[in-house]
Structure 1
Amino acid sequence: MDTATLTRTPEKASRRRRRVAALAAFVFFFGPAVAFAAGDRAGEIENRQLAAFPALSRRFAAGFEAWAVDHLPLRGEAVRAHALLSEGLFGEQPSYATAGPRAYPRVIEGRDGWLYFGDDVAEACRPAGTTAGILDRVRRLGEIVRRSGRRFVFTVAPDKTTVSPDKLPDRFLGEGCLRGRKKEFWAALDAARPPGYLDLRAPLLRLQRDTGEPAYFRTDSHWSERSAALYGEELARVLRPGLSEDTRLTFLGRSPREGDLGRLLGAPRQEDAARWRLDRDGVRRVAQDDRDAPLAFRVTNASARAALFRPRTLLIGDSFTRESTPWITPYFADLTVLRSDAPARAGPERVAGYVRDAEVVVFEMVERYWAGGHGETLTDETLAAVEKALEAAPRRAGDPG
């Protein structure tokens, strides 16, 4: 082989490496832009709303970074690719820890394929407020609503780590503060006995014990369909005893279901999940108004037999309520379901308008946010806006609903 050939061979290899590097750089820097132009949009993959575009202030830079990361096209695909690479090469979940405060895992891998939401730990171990403070805020909300002549009910959707903790690993980061904060919160709630409180923890534990079936999905952060139906039953019972008569819950069998926690890991997991259907004799959907979706939607029902709860009702809730709507809406003649993060999405005044238009207000929030001492519906700004709106529109017995 002559000298010229020897010279050309490494040159060709070098050119190939440069082309591969250039292609990788193009995909890294311009792939998201191309995907955006093709219509790809970021979705909510972390059981929370995407960061909003920040207002101009001294905190703009930090807020803009959070917004840019959340709204990056192909972000979900990148997370999944990272997870597959980490688990394929190293046999473990990817780590997303960063420098600074201790980073708790997004997902806790338990025994027998069980997954738990890491925010249960993060909220308990890094609370934004006190247990006494958050209970005082819901008490204030209840007083504001009742003082205006409206009815108020609130409930706590227990964490999966509270009702089905038996598959948690023996040791995990934050275990001590998680257990301590849970004990503190439930003891404080039991001692406070706040007016309008609907307990779901005891019925869920009883259902799980009596049926031998877990109350929560194995690979999801939420409760099962049967537990969602229990939520609807308990809400109906506290609003009007006997409301759940002429109601049947039918087991439909089992089918594959992909949980949200596997997607959060970037490695989707399926389970064989029990499926149920709620039937209420004579109840039919009259209309569904989705003009305010995904912020809110309104359902109106009529019935030729089963009783309906007639007062116009507003149900403010998080993803536990949204996952449970098929098992809740058939009990109501007129129900509006509003996201609990609506104050951040649309402003406190918009939320106050929904409350003003209701006769009955039901508020649900998952345990981890109670333990974390915060919630968008319970901020000072939201409470003030609701109070102002209801003072201007009190209800009296006999008012048309």
Structure 2
Amino acid sequence: MDTAALTRTPGTPSPRRRRRVAALAALLFFFGPAVAFAAGDRADEIENREPAAFPALSRRFATGFEAWAVDHLPLRGQAVRAHTLLSERLFGEPPSYATAGPRAYPRVIEGRDGWLYFGDDVAEACRPAGTTAGVLDRVRRLGEIVRGSGRGFVFTVAPDKTTVSPDKLPDRFLGEGCLRSRKTELWAALEAARVPGYLDLRAPLLRLQRDTGEPAYFRTDSHWSERSAALYGAELARVLRPALAGGTRLTFLGRSPREGDLGRLLGAPRREDAARWRLDRDGVRRLAQDDRDAPIAFRVTNATTRAALFRPRTLIVGDSFTRESTPWITPYFADLTVLRSDAPVRAGPERVAGYLREAEVVVFEMVERYWAGGHGEMLTDETLAAVEKALKAAPRRAGGPG
């Protein structure tokens, strides 16, 4: 006789049943993502980054597996969107995902008139991994390595949206003080350092915004507008070779709906009516695009019958600001390779050094928040050492500024 059944409170599940439920839950946790994947469900990239990869078998496997499982849970995006909608309907604000421990800054800051700002601008400024001076020293060293090998070097900073278009920020928000002080420190240091090859984009963006009366950044996205992307391309062309401005026109195509990345980060997509632009360069046509190294890098070659092209083989190392701007950059170059700035992590420092070795001119772009945070994948000791070794073994005659 089952004596446990005689003493069990009515309605309480038996130990055997509880074990079965626990086993089923474990199976769903461990194998649910794989089953959902086989059925056609795909986890969305809703955190402005790629989902975590399956971890290697090491001491950190448990921590890595937890991150992988969370990122690949089936219907994860739908659950986050439902949570966001419920929170906004009930409390008038998006949910907070802060956890116990260090102060958690919001992933998205909701401003006035539907404006959204990337919370990492604040998190990087308020919890920096390094100093502004340290980043400048490493960029200076990268420039010295590249120029010392006979190659041209240009570097630039993509300003944060909170720097160029801050007027829609809320009156008060967590981290406001350290954000403002860090920005003041960073831009003053950049101006005072006078590092060779520096291209300032902040002043032209502020001027464009003032002269046109249009914001330089999308309302619901962390990135600059198409017109600002075209300005980035034009400013880069100007410092490389002023004659590249000839035979170049920026054509307004009208306005159309656009979904920004910050709404997806909230789990509640936001759309806006965005201005669309096209860069036209007389006689320039695309010869080929080599995507064999995608998503790490891609290469574009162009030919022309009229407008000038920048002829030296060029490498741009940049983050999402550069990748979002490629339609307004590539038409200026005869031979251009665009390399992700996180390639040292994705592909290794030696492979990155190989891209620099093949170039005659190197352009390095990094977003302001990483400068404020005091770190960057291209600026680690391992990456700089690999680049120095590769370029010393393959010197060139300089093909551009710097």
- TM-score higher than 0.5: yes
Closer/same/farther in 2, CA of residues 73 and 294 from structure 1, 3 Å limit: farther
Closer/same/farther in 2, CA of residues 25 and 387 from structure 1, 3 Å limit: closer
Closer/same/farther in 2, CA of residues 144 and 267 from structure 1, 3 Å limit: same
Closer/same/farther in 2, CA of residues 28 and 93 from structure 1, 3 Å limit: farther
How far does the alpha carbon of each residue in 1:21-74 deviate from its partner, in whole angstroms, 9 at most, with x for none?
999999777653421222434343322344445455544433443343334443
Closer/same/farther in 2, CA of residues 148 and 220 from structure 1, 3 Å limit: same
How far does the alpha carbon of each residue in 1:1-26 deviate from its partner, in whole angstroms, 9 at most, with x for none?
9999999999xx99999999999999
RMSD: 4.4
**Higher deviation after alignment, 291-300 or 84-93:** 84-93
CA distance in 2, matches of 1:71, 1:17: 26
The alignment's TM-score, normalised by the length of structure 1, stands at: 0.90
Closer/same/farther in 2, CA of residues 112 and 26 from structure 1, 3 Å limit: farther
CA distance in 1, matches of 2:15, 2:392: 75
Closer/same/farther in 2, CA of residues 20 and 273 from structure 1, 3 Å limit: farther
Return 5+ residue gaps in structure 1 as ranges: none
**Higher deviation after alignment, 65-74 or 207-216:** 65-74
How far does the alpha carbon of each residue in 1:106-138 deviate from its partner, in whole angstroms, 9 at most, with x for none?
000000000000000000000000000001010
In structure 1, the partner of 2:272 is 271
Q: Structure 1 residue 362: deviation in Å? A: 0.3
CA distance in 1, matches of 2:81, 2:219: 20
Closer/same/farther in 2, CA of residues 8 and 63 from structure 1, 3 Å limit: closer
CA distance in 2, matches of 1:264, 1:76: 10
Closer/same/farther in 2, CA of residues 39 and 349 from structure 1, 3 Å limit: farther
Q: Structure 1 residue 337: deviation in Å? A: 0.4
Closer/same/farther in 2, CA of residues 22 and 382 from structure 1, 3 Å limit: closer
**Higher deviation after alignment, 50-59 or 34-43:** 50-59
SS at match of 1:242: helix
SS at match of 2:244: coil
Contact 1:32 1:74 in 2 (8 A): no
Return 5+ residue gaps in structure 2 as ranges: none
What fraction of aligned residue pairs are identical, expressed as a percent? 90
CA distance in 2, matches of 1:173, 1:400: 42
CA distance in 2, matches of 1:144, 1:315: 16
Contact 2:142 2:384 in 1 (8 A): yes
Closer/same/farther in 2, CA of residues 28 and 64 from structure 1, 3 Å limit: closer
Contact 1:228 1:327 in 2 (8 A): yes
**Higher deviation after alignment, 207-216 or 235-244:** 235-244
**Higher deviation after alignment, 333-342 or 80-89:** 80-89
Closer/same/farther in 2, CA of residues 177 and 206 from structure 1, 3 Å limit: same
Closer/same/farther in 2, CA of residues 346 and 353 from structure 1, 3 Å limit: same
SS at match of 1:285: strand
**Higher deviation after alignment, 123-132 or 69-78:** 69-78
Contact 2:46 2:265 in 1 (8 A): yes
Contact 1:314 1:354 in 2 (8 A): yes
Closer/same/farther in 2, CA of residues 210 and 31 from structure 1, 3 Å limit: same
In structure 1, the partner of 2:193 is 192
In structure 2, the partner of 1:107 is 108
The alignment's TM-score, normalised by the length of structure 2, stands at: 0.90
Kindly tell me the number of residue pairs found equivalent between the two proteins.
399
CA distance in 1, matches of 2:109, 2:334: 41
Closer/same/farther in 2, CA of residues 364 and 329 from structure 1, 3 Å limit: same
Q: Structure 1 residue 251: deviation in Å? A: 0.7
Closer/same/farther in 2, CA of residues 6 and 247 from structure 1, 3 Å limit: farther
Q: Structure 1 residue 76: deviation in Å? A: 2.4
Closer/same/farther in 2, CA of residues 219 and 8 from structure 1, 3 Å limit: same
Contact 1:245 1:306 in 2 (8 A): yes
